[in-house]
Amino acid sequence: MGAMPFSELFKGRKAADGGDGSRLSAFAAADKLSIVEQLEETGVISFWASDASGGLKYLSPAIENELGDNAARLAGQPVQKVFVPLADDSESRSLGLKLGTRKSFTGVVVKLEARGIDLVLRLSGRPAFDAEGEFLGFRGSAADITEEFRSEEEANRLAKYDSLTGLSNRHRMEQRIDATLHAFRNAERSAALMMLDLDRFKQVNDTLGHAAGDQLLQQVAERLRGALAGRGEIARLGGDEFQVLIPDMDDRGELGEIAKKIIAMLSQPYSVEEGRATIGCSVGIAIAPYDGIERDDLCRAADLALYASKNGGRGQFRFYAADLEHEANLRKRMEDDLAQAIEEGHFTLEYQPVVELASNRVVALEAQFCWQDDERGRVPAETFLPIAEGSRLIIPVGEWGLRKALEDAKRWPDALRLVMTVSPVQFEAIGFAELIESALEESGIDPARLELQLPETVLLGDAAKVEKVLAALFKLGVRLTLDRFGTGLSSISYLRRAPLNTLKIGANFFEPMLGNELGDMEMVRAVVALADAMGMETAASGVHAMALMRELKDIGIDQVQGFVFAEALPGEAVDQEIASGDWHIAPSEAGSQRANRRTVFRRVGLIHEDYYYEVTLRNLSRTGAMIQGLEDVPTGTNFVLDFGGGQLAVCTVKRSMDDTQGLEFESELVDDGAGGLCTRHRVSPYELASAGVPLQALPGGSSGRVLGVSPAGGFAQFKLSANAPAQGGGPQAS
């Protein structure tokens, strides 16, 4: 663009004005140009010009100086390639059109397209013509607004993004959710919303300070970005609450894996200036349009799921389900009843044998809580213990169980150990080690006969406190087992420092995997090798099949418990077994029928051709189920099992006896985050809406009936048995 003077640039224009001083004396015109050129040199005002073909012909010296070596490269380049509009308004969007049609424009914000240069201009221009009306190019002004624009951009960024983590803030996320749901509703697409809450974050702030808490939150944001890998929008809503929006996702199997990955990554230790910190994470998941089609509904559903996951023991994920609406009230009632049950002594203990694989000899008994409630009947431990833990009632329940079990163990042979599971709430309670010491002294049994089973989450507490308690327990002489090892939370280096006797593998290792129906045996081998290297024993729980037991024996697992040997036994039965002599248990094939199956009794829907039946679901696994209620159903019959809430599973009858059928699913069920199972996908509400059901009414309800399937009637193919539930109640969503 060079040294062309301002006066030369506008010679054509002067000619059009006459050039003879008729409008302005020659001296006055030159003086005027001199003044303008002085202002231009100082940068107070800048000018640009293009030639007739649209190439950049001139830029004021102040801008040329800013461009440096880039100035020569830009000379002659098309104006629309040099000046790139930044603002999202009609004037900016039409800059190319204005240049092409030779129309004037004003106030267009542009960025100069030059390497390493940050220069933002407010551009105006108008076409220039000579006396004959021939187009000469554009002439215009440019104001440098770089600092003003960047300041405004930063203010906008701060208004939309969290200043600490750089993630979206609540306001931006609300806009993103609204826009996504609106667009996806029109296109009949799905989206998943995750609510995340950090567990034990307050403890970090209280012990290490708010600066450490801020550093930890920044690291949490980085880990979330890594876990999502650009697949969704992440927001920090404030404090330790985060939100994730994942478009085009309704696969609950995949969402569950993402949630597990997030929980595992966020639960790894953090290094901050003030020391080492460890937290956890709970996740609630809702999916549009199944769980809501408006932001408020979807956020509320995700919130309810998060609340359920936190109350379920933390470090978990939960999907939204219609029954969560009532869970809070039911939970509060159960808390009240639990407190009363403690006072009135409604708890008992049962003991599951732990068997040495090499000899089939019972070497230990694991105490398991039982609650016999007047209204509920026998309440499973997996139902009430999470509630007891969330309300801290686990502390008095646990103390009662410890003293009762030690009292029972006094009647056992000295070689038989007592195994007690300890929750993180118990472990972190003030005076836990002192309680163990007091209970041992009161019972008078050898401390080496007491084995405390600690979940991996215990290691995630304050490092100094954890080591102090572990050291005190080690000094007492009790055995320590790390329960459900291998969930990805504990550090191998920490295992080397902790005084542990046994690594125990949980049933999660034995869920069927692709290519290995027994589960992750390679990982089991790795755990056995690790334990051997550290001088520890290995144990496995949840072993319910002979084939699995034989595989574990070959791998080198020391001890096993599960249905393949025995279920939990009442104290009286334990006394009888002990009285009969040396206690050995031969493994039984009967256990194979219990493998990975969950016993349930609830109403579900069953669809066959044009008929809808209601039957009883007796048990459930990932690959199949047992139902009761239809008579004389031939093997090979195809059904659709309706779990409710849009969950339909295509299945085939593999076994049939009287009014009971064994079903095999076409597609495996997936983990629902609450210890149960659910279908990977649900029937699309958009498909249901096409059948005439209002979209707002779709979450929950009996999908089979919505699909227009007729209830069973006089001409149904199969006859209902006496064990079938009363028809018309509809399935209950799981």
Q: Where are the domains of the chain?
A: 6-151, 161-322, 352-588, 597-720
pLDDT at 14: 44
CATH class of 597-720: mainly beta
pLDDT at 343: 77
Q: Alpha helix locations (H) across 614-677?
A: none
- Cβ neighbours of residue 123 closer than 8 Å, sequence gap 6 or more: 48, 83, 105, 107, 108, 109, 110, 140, 141, 142
User: What are 507-550's pLDDT values in tens digits?
Assistant: 767 754 434 455 567 888 888 998 998 899 999 998 888 888 89
Q: Which of 587, 585, 567 is nearest to 577 (CA)?
A: 585
User: What are 342-366's pLDDT values in tens digits?
Assistant: 777 788 899 999 999 999 999 999 9
Mean pLDDT of 261-275: 89
User: What are 694-704's pLDDT values in tens digits?
Assistant: 544 444 433 33
pLDDT at 6: 43
pLDDT at 635: 93
Between residues 591 and 214, the one the model is more confident about:
214
Between residues 505 and 363, the one the model is more confident about:
363
Mean pLDDT of 402-407: 95
User: What are 95-104's pLDDT values in tens digits?
Assistant: 888 898 999 9
pLDDT at 505: 87
CATH number of this structure's domain 161-322? 3.30.70.270
Q: What percent of the chain has pLDDT over 90?
A: 40
231-240, 366-375, 619-628: which is most confident = 231-240
d(C-alpha 615, C-alpha 275), whole Å: 57
Mean pLDDT of 105-115: 86
d(C-alpha 320, C-alpha 583), whole Å: 46
Between residues 717 and 279, the one the model is more confident about:
279
pLDDT at 645: 80
CATH number of this structure's domain 6-151? 3.30.450.20
pLDDT at 684: 77
Instruction: For residue 696, give the DSSP letter.
Output: G
User: What are 186-199's pLDDT values in tens digits?
Assistant: 888 999 999 999 98
pLDDT at 708: 38
- pLDDT category at 322 given cuts 50, 70, 90 is confident
Mean pLDDT of 41-68: 85
* Whether the predicted pLDDT of 705 surpasses 50: no
Listing DSSP states for 46-82 in one string gives EEEEE-TTSBEEEE-HHHHHHHTTHHHHHTTSBHHHH
- Cβ neighbours of residue 441 closer than 8 Å, sequence gap 6 or more: none
User: What are 442-501's pLDDT values in tens digits?
Assistant: 999 999 999 999 988 787 667 778 889 999 999 999 999 998 886 555 556 667 777 899
d(C-alpha 483, C-alpha 489), whole Å: 12
pLDDT at 639: 93
Average pLDDT of the chain, as a whole number? 82
pLDDT at 692: 54
295-311 vs 324-344: helix axis angle to the nearest 10? 20
**Considering the entire predicted model, what is its pTM?**
0.60
User: What are 633-669's pLDDT values in tens digits?
Assistant: 999 999 999 988 889 999 999 999 888 999 999 999 9
pLDDT at 730: 57
> How far is the CA of 627 from the CAs of 607, 615, 643, 653, in angstroms?
13, 7, 12, 10
* Whether the predicted pLDDT of 414 surpasses 90: yes
| H/E element, 688 | helix 685-689
- pLDDT category at 305 given cuts 50, 70, 90 is very high
Token pair for residue 706?
A: 């919505």
User: What are 198-215's pLDDT values in tens digits?
Assistant: 988 888 888 888 899 999
Cis peptide bond prior to 269, omega within 30° of 0 = no
Between residues 615 and 382, the one the model is more confident about:
615
Mean pLDDT of 329-350: 79
% helix, strand, coil for the chain, step of 5: 40, 25, 35
Pairing of strands 233-238, 241-247: antiparallel
pLDDT at 185: 87
- pLDDT category at 709 given cuts 50, 70, 90 is very low
Mean pLDDT of 434-444: 95
pLDDT at 577: 92
pLDDT at 493: 62
CATH number of this structure's domain 352-588? 3.20.20.450
C-alpha 441: how far from chain center: 45
